[in-house]
Amino acid sequence: MSSVTKAVITAAGLGTRFLPATKATPKEMLPVVDKPAIQYVVEEAVAAGLDDVLLITSRTKRSVEDHFDRAFELEAELTRKGDTARLDLVRQATDLATVHSVRQREALGLGHAVLCAEQHVGHQPFAVLLGDDLIDPRDPLLPRMIEVQQRYGGSVVALMEVEPAQIRLYGSAAVEPTDTDGVFRVTELVEKPQTAAPSNFAVIGRYVLDPAIFEVLHTTPPGRGGEIQLTDAIRALALRDEHRGGPVHGVVFTGRRYDTGDRADYLRTIVRLACEREDLGPDFRAWLEYFVAKEMRGRSDSGGPDEIS
Ligand code: UTP
């Protein structure tokens, strides 16, 4: 069975949930503490052994491409100042992996964005990661998905159990158990179900796909929201046998995930990760405790540590 070596990271969406911040700045470049969201995603791919990374970007996402390129002027200035710590930070993104990019000319949907990777990917199974969807590195998911793909063949999606009221925001999967704990056979998929959902298993932003997905995507009509949906194409693979790109399995994820394309989740992510940082955490936590206590008391905000730092 072919091994998985390539990662496709999609970052060509319009990011309308985060307007006006995303009018001229890609949502993937919004800082999560002090690193753009998409750098976490590239780091995750590399940690899973996928160091051939293809970014799907668009005309307005130039800064995403630039972030993984050399920054000669900045590097020269930091070198001149002898600021090696910051120089290392600047070079980190460049040295991570071989990063390629291709532009999606029109935001026709996630399925269409993945189709833009066809030439680069070729005939091997490959991983897809959404550029604004972060998985905490302490809860690795992709290595498990690759393992499952190698065992069962076909494609693998990541499933997360969500509250029934939330499932309409995701793709929802009907599943059957397999002989492996936490791994299900996917029998049906519905993108953002508006009425009865097949289950509370939501499809989240990690996929390991059989290259047959491309042939399906070529003929997948626009679905929900008038977009070419990846979910619809994966559904077609789920109904196929192993000689034609099937089956599709789901790996259940119970770890920490941060949807940085959603404003509320973005804020929670930053607070959580900042609290956990060795350099920023202690002072930030102290301020946060003070701030929350003050909010709880509903008092005026004079005289606290928030005025100092
Ligand atoms: P989203 O559903 O988050 O859509 O896309 P969006 O346009 O990026 O953001 P909102 O909903 O308007 O705020 C899921 C993933 O698919 C990519 C996005 O970049 C994100 O990684 N995508 C979506 C594309 O690459 N191209 C598209 O045409 C649509």
What CATH number is attached to the domain comprising 99?
3.90.550.10
d(CA 167, CA 183): 20
Which atom from ligand 1 is nearest to the alpha carbon of 112? Answer: 28
> Same domain, yes or no, for 133 and 3?
yes
73 belongs to a structural domain: yes
263 belongs to a structural domain: no
Which atom from ligand 1 is nearest to the alpha carbon of 18? Answer: 13
SS3 labels along 218-267: HCCCCCHHHCCCHHHHHHHHHCCCHHHCCCEEEEECCCCEEECCCHHHHH
Q: Which amino acid type is present at position 29?
A: M
> What is the reported pLDDT for 220?
95
130, 192, 259: residue to mutate for ligand 1 pocket, most atoms within 8 A of CB? 130
> Same domain, yes or no, for 27 and 100?
yes
10, 23, 27, 29: residue to mutate for ligand 1 pocket, most atoms within 8 A of CB? 10
| Nearest residue (CA) to ligand 1, atom 9 | 15
132, 168, 170, 265: residue to mutate for ligand 1 pocket, most atoms within 8 A of CB? 132
110, 168, 229, 265: residue to mutate for ligand 1 pocket, most atoms within 8 A of CB? 110
268 belongs to a structural domain: no
Rounded to 10 degrees, the C-alpha dihedral 220/223/229/232 comes to -60
> Same domain, yes or no, for 62 and 120?
yes
> Same domain, yes or no, for 102 and 179?
no
> Same domain, yes or no, for 222 and 118?
no
> Same domain, yes or no, for 216 and 173?
yes
> Same domain, yes or no, for 244 and 306?
no
Q: Domain span at residue 288?
A: 277-309
Within its chain, how far is the Cα of 218 from the centroid? 23
Centre of ligand 1 from the C-alpha of residue 186, in Å: 23
Which residues have C-beta atoms less than 6 Å from ligand 1?
10-18, 56, 104, 107-110, 112-113, 130-132, 261
Mean pLDDT by 10 residues, the chain (309 residues): 89 95 94 97 96 94 94 95 95 91 96 98 96 96 97 96 93 94 95 89 97 96 93 94 88 97 96 96 96 82 51
| Nearest residue (CA) to ligand 1, atom 23 | 13
Burial string for 227-261 (b: 16+ CB within 10 Å, else e) reads: bbbbbbbbbbbbebeeeebbbbbbbbbeeebbbbb
Domain's final residue, options 107, 139, 171: 139
Centre of ligand 1 from the C-alpha of residue 131, in Å: 9
272 belongs to a structural domain: no
271 belongs to a structural domain: no
> Same domain, yes or no, for 6 and 135?
yes
> Same domain, yes or no, for 23 and 125?
yes
65 belongs to a structural domain: yes
**Maximum distance among all Cα pairs of the chain, rounded to whole angstroms:** 69
Centre of ligand 1 from the C-alpha of residue 302, in Å: 42
> What is the reported pLDDT for 295?
87
pTM of this structure: 0.94
Q: Which residues lie closer than 8 Å to 172 by C-beta, 6 or more apart?
A: 189, 190, 193, 197, 198, 199, 200, 201, 202, 203
> Same domain, yes or no, for 123 and 4?
yes
> Same domain, yes or no, for 134 and 176?
no
220 belongs to a structural domain: yes
Domain count, the chain: 3
145 belongs to a structural domain: no
Centre of ligand 1 from the C-alpha of residue 55, in Å: 13
> Same domain, yes or no, for 240 and 293?
no
> What is the reported pLDDT for 43?
97
> What is the reported pLDDT for 298?
78
